[in-house]
């Protein structure tokens, strides 16, 4: 039994060494193809949104009231090159996509109208809220000056989305 165990252990060690060499070669090939990682999508060719995206040079990050675009070409010297600021606009970004030279921001637009209650007539007037789910598309060819080129709003709150063959599907 002792010699059988030793033989199996030696075979396993050899297999592990071979796998390591194969993985190293595959990793080198993959590194040449892509220098950065992308969102881990569940279905092939179906892009999922995320709170952080990269194109290999810039990092796009969802903030509480905006989007930060950071130059990450030199990792030791990260620098914010622009910011899309939603402060004072009742907009809360949730997730983003990168598509060609466009940044797609999925957000909620919160707009509240206060309900007035008249104690004398026991009636109410006004509405409680007018929430909208939004997809805002920015041209990012000039990375330092993202330009909003289109906004789509639908009633409700943003829930989920997918980008398939250049078409955005989002659910509110």
Residues 63, 167: Cα–Cα separation, whole Å: 25
pLDDT at 8: 37
Percent of the chain with pLDDT over 90: 56
Length of the chain: 172
pLDDT of residue 27: 42
Give tens-digit pLDDT for 62-93. 999 999 999 999 989 999 999 999 998 999 99
Yes or no: say if 103 and 67 are a contact pair by the CB < 8 Å rule: yes
Residue 97 and residue 163 in contact, taking contact as beta carbons nearer than 8 Å: yes
3 pLDDT above the threshold of 60: no
Sign (positive or negative) of CA dihedral 76, 59, 57, 49: positive
Give yes or no for residue 160 having a pLDDT over 60.
Answer: yes
């Amino acid at each position: 039994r002792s010699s059988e165990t030793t033989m199996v252990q030696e075979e396993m060690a050899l297999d592990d060494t071979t796998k390591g060499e194969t993985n190293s070669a595959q990793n080198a090939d993959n590194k040449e193809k892509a220098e950065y990682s992308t969102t881990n999508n569940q279905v092939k060719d179906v892009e999922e949104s995320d709170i952080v995206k990269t194109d290999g040079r810039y990092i796009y990050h969802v903030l509480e009231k905006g989007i930060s675009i950071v130059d990450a070409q030199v990792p030791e010297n990260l620098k914010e090159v622009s910011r899309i600021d939603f402060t004072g606009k009742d907009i809360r970004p949730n997730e983003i996509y990168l598509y060609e030279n466009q940044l797609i921001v999925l957000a909620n637009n919160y707009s509240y109208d206060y309900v007035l209650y008249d104690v004398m007539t026991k009636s109410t007037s006004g509405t409680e809220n007018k929430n909208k789910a939004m997809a805002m598309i920015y041209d990012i060819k000039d990375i330092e000056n993202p330009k909003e080129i289109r906004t789509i709003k639908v009633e409700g709150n943003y829930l989920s989305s997918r980008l398939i063959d250049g078409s955005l599907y989002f659910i509110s």
